[in-house]
Each structure stands twice: as structure tokens, then as C-alpha cells.
Amino acid sequence: MKRPLSPSSSVPPVARAALGRRRFRPIQLLSAKKSSAGSQRPGPKNTEAPVGTRRGRLRVNVGCVPKKVMWNTAVHSEFIHDQEDYGFQNCDVKFNWRVIKEKRDAYISRLNIIYQNNLIKSQIDIIRGHASFTNDSEPTVEVNGKKYKAPHILIATGGFPTIPSDDQISGASLGITSDGFFELEDLPRRSVIVGAGYIAVEIAGILAALGSQTSMVIRHEKVLRHFDKLISSNCTEELVNAGVEVLKYSQIKEVKKTSAGLEVKVMTAEPNRKSTVSVISNVDCLLWAIGRTPNIKGLKLNRVGVRTDDQGHILVDEFQNTNRKGIYAVGDVCGKSLLTPVAIAAGRKLAHRLFECKLDSKLDYENIPTVVFSHPPIGTVGLTEDEAIAKYGNENVKTYVTTFTPMYFAVTKRKTKCVMKMVCAHQEKKVVGIHMQGIGCDEMLQGFAVAVKMGAKKADFDNTVAIHPTSSEELVTLR
């Protein structure tokens, strides 16, 4: 079910098209699991829904699902460090990376079979191949030498990790990306993660928790700079507390291969200070997590006139329409809210509109909750404090902040705090943002996100009876 992964190269888009010679209703061009929801939405009677995918590019293979397995593994390691504080003594525990890799890969294989069977049950044909548009008078897709036409063509090819070229940074190709992380056969002894986004934060946290000596190379002072400033500051602090070396204001200048591993040259240029150069030796895992590139190579969008931005993201309106009638796009390839559930929701809304006559069906991109599986995890929904001030004015924004130590750490030597911020707007104190980091914040966010989506006010939180003793009660007792 799985193809070999290539950590340092992109994968051209693949086509979801039909095997027969018939003219099909919808065609989907996919390379990620995220759009399968759109392909499984009900269509008109007797509608053929052709789809296909290269299995190795699924998010379930090299994305959020295996990442969560590894995060769970890292959390287990943290709990093991605390076990003596909870009375469990003389526990000689050793970690074997290959055991969890084998179990993780088996789990992913089972999921692949489930997804494929779901498509088959939905009478969806799967074609594996590289798709491209043709010069025909009406939108047409060519796959493996065959042409397929349809009144509706959905592009959901996702994105792939960005990696510098060797011309930009000498030896850059010696590193891997998040895709290659899941190919590692053993726990790296010495790891260097380049980037400050959520993927870099998550992988650095996993490796450090499992025992790899880990450094992060970031260009600015803090990680997650597009998150609320409370989260950005606290996450940076927690990474350091977890043993991650955070090299601030730094960039990779050169990578060399030696008999002992990689040698990574880092230039640091702090404000108002002379730049310095340092070398990290014996590196056996250099991982680039510096962003993602839209996966449009080989699609030949110019043949149908589909417009993209300067980065290659497909431009769509609020209904996921491109500028070409009958061609749509959802997910990471559009460059907006790069989250699997967002692409799934957008695909569903599009299917409702096209095949169920729900003409106003579209995804509301406001107040989309997101979680970063850092250590401890981050949960956030709505506007940051700075965004709220920019939208409503400083005089119309009030924030409520709390910092505390969760009860779990009351008896442990290891201490990790929990931080929470509620952002409210106008006199009625409508809750327009919630941001938190701490143990359990990943699971508690979903319910609070519903409240924010419904337009809850601070008074609604105040009038809710707290559940004690929990961390989540802090959000309904903020003063």
C-alpha cells in the first residue's frame, strides 16, 4: 500500500480519474487524504465519481496521524520520568524506536486499507498516475495517456515540504523533511531542526522527549510567531525547559558530510551584536521544517488558465471556485488554513453545493480551532490579542490571562506550567479568541471552540459552573 518516501523531493500531483471510457460527473485531482470527504459526498443519481491517489502522499501516512502516534510515544516517555514521584520505584525502562515504528507503520497500513475500501464501497474508481490538464476546448485531464472529461474537476493536491537547494545552502540536500522523519529506522543521537513553525516545534519536542540531543535553528527570537504572543513566548520557554537548544536569530550556512555524521555550520546574528559562526558536529538528523510548497508541478494549470499567486497557491473564491468554470480547489494547495479538517470540511461544503442544491454551502474560515502537539500541547481558536486590537481598536479589547501549575505536577520534580488567555471585544465582552498551552489543552479546546463559534460572551463563561479539579475550569473562572 505504501510507496518508498523521498524526504528531499516533491511528488507531482496524481489524478483521481475513472478507468472506463465514459464521461464522468466529478473528477478529483488529489495527492492527500484530506479531500476524500469530498469524493465520498453523495452526488446525483447514477453519478460516477472517479478518484485516485498515490498512497504514500496521504496525510495518514506522513502527516498528522503518524505524528500523533509519535507524540503519544514522547508523552509516555515524559510520564516515565515522573513515575518515581508517583511511587513507582526501580523501573528499568528502555526505549526501542524500531518497536514503535513497526507498530505505527502497521496501524497506518490498516488505515490505508480502510480508506481504500470506503472509496470502493462508494463506487469510486481509483486511478494512480500523474495528472495534467490538456489544451482541449473544455477542461480535460490526461492520466497515463488517457483523457477524462467532467463538468466538475476538483484540485486537492496538497503541498510538500520545502527544502533549500544546494545552490542556496551548500549541502542542504543532506537533510530530510518531515516526510523523511517517518522513515528513520533508529532514534537519532544528535538532531538539528531548522524552522520555527508548528512542524518544527512538534518534531523537536518528540525527539528531545525520546532522548535525542536536539537543537532548533530559528531566524527570530521565538517560535510560532504567528500565534498569540503569550503562546509564542511560552512555547519557546517550554522547549528550552525540555532540553531543546534553541539557537535564536540563526540560519544554516553550510552542511558537510563527515565520517562521524553531518557537520552543520550556523550563523547567529543577534540585534546590535556582531554575527558569530558555530559548528554542530556529529549530526545524524538534519531536518528542514521551513514551510510547504503547493503541489501543482506537472498539472499544467496554464493550459486551462487557472490562476495562482506568487507562491503557486491556487486562487479561489469563498465557494472554492477557481477563475475557470467547473474547476475547484480545496486544501493546502490553496494556501489557507493548512489543516486536514479544513480541507475535509471545504470538500464537504463544495459537494453539498454541487450535488445537493445547497447553493449557499461554503466553509466559514473564521474561528477555526487548531492544536499544536508540542510539549505541553497548544490549543488556540479565534483572534490573537494583536489581531483583535487591529480589528476592533485597543480601547475595545480586553484580555484575561492566567498562569498556573497543573495538579499533575504537584508531586513531580518536573514542572510544566499552563498558560491561558481569553480575548474579548466590545462592551459586551464577546469572546473572540482563546489561546492556551498546557497538559490537556489539546483535548479541552474543541468544546471551547464551539462556544467561540456560537458567539459566547465572557458572561457565558462566568455563568458556567466549573469542573473541579481540572485545568479547564480556569477558563470559566478568569477574573
Is residue 279 located within the same domain as residue 313?
A: no
Query: 403, 266 in Cβ contact below 8 A?
Result: no
Side-chain-side CA neighbours of 51 within 13 Å: the count stands at 31
Is the domain of 152 the same as that of 215? Answer: no
Of the residues 244, 274, 290, the one at which a domain ends = 290
- The reported pLDDT for the residue numbered 1 is 33
Q: Is 198 annotated as a binding residue?
A: yes
Question: Is the domain of 156 the same as that of 298?
Answer: yes
Q: Binding residue per annotation — 309?
A: no
Shared domain check, 152 and 33: yes
Provide the pLDDT for residue 125: 85
Q: DSSP 3-state assignment of 435?
A: strand
Active site residues: 468
Q: Which of 266, 290, 314 is where one domain is finished?
A: 290
Amino acid at 226: H
171 is in an annotated binding site: no
Q: Which domain holds residue 396?
A: 370-476
Give pLDDT, residue 5. Answer: 33
Element (H, E) at 215: strand 213-217
Question: Does 351 belong to an annotated binding site?
Answer: no
201 marked as part of a ligand binding site = yes
Q: Check the annotation: does 68 bind a ligand.
A: yes
Q: Is 329 assigned a ligand-binding role in the annotation? A: no
**270 falls within a domain:** yes
pLDDT in tens, the chain (479 residues): 333 333 333 333 443 333 333 455 677 776 644 445 555 554 544 445 555 443 334 457 888 999 999 999 999 999 999 999 999 998 789 999 999 999 999 999 999 999 999 999 998 888 889 999 999 999 999 999 999 999 999 999 999 999 999 999 999 999 999 999 999 999 999 999 999 999 999 999 999 999 999 999 999 999 999 999 999 999 999 999 999 999 999 999 999 999 999 999 999 999 999 999 999 999 999 999 999 999 999 999 999 999 999 999 999 999 999 999 999 999 999 999 999 999 999 999 999 999 999 999 999 999 999 999 999 999 999 999 999 999 999 999 999 999 999 999 999 999 999 999 999 999 999 999 999 999 999 999 999 999 999 999 999 999 999 999 999 999 999 99
**Same domain membership, residue 188 and residue 41:** no
Number of domains forming the structure of the chain: 3
CA distances from 146 to 36, 82, 139, 201, 472 (A): 23, 60, 14, 43, 56
Same-domain check for residues 319 and 418:
no
Query: Contact 135/303 with Cβ under 8 angstroms?
Result: yes
Determine if residue 202 is labeled as part of a ligand binding site: yes
pLDDT of residue 29: 75
H-type alpha helices, 122-217: 178-181, 198-209
CATH of residue 182? 3.50.50.60
Assess if residue 129 is contained within a domain. yes
209 & 286 share domain: yes
**DSSP of 156-177, one letter per residue?**
E--EEE----TTTSBTGGGSB-
In a domain, 4, yes or no: no
pLDDT (0 to 100) of residue 14: 40
Within a domain: 69: no
Among 290, 314, 347, give the residue marking a domain's end: 290
Q: Output the nine-digit C-alpha cell for 304.
A: 486551462
Question: Which of 109, 21, 2 is closest to 65 using CA atoms?
Answer: 109
Q: Are residues 270 and 298 in the same domain?
A: no
Residue 200 is assigned to a ligand binding site: yes
To the question of whether residue 17 is assigned a binding role by annotation, the answer is: no
Do 341 and 404 sit in the same domain of this protein? no
Question: 298: annotated binding-site residue?
Answer: no
273 and 305, same structural domain? Answer: no
300 and 385 inside one domain: no
One domain for residues 418 and 462: yes
Q: Is residue 90 part of a domain?
A: no
Q: Specify if 361 maps to a domain.
A: no
Q: Is 219 contained in some domain?
A: yes
| 9 lies in some domain | no
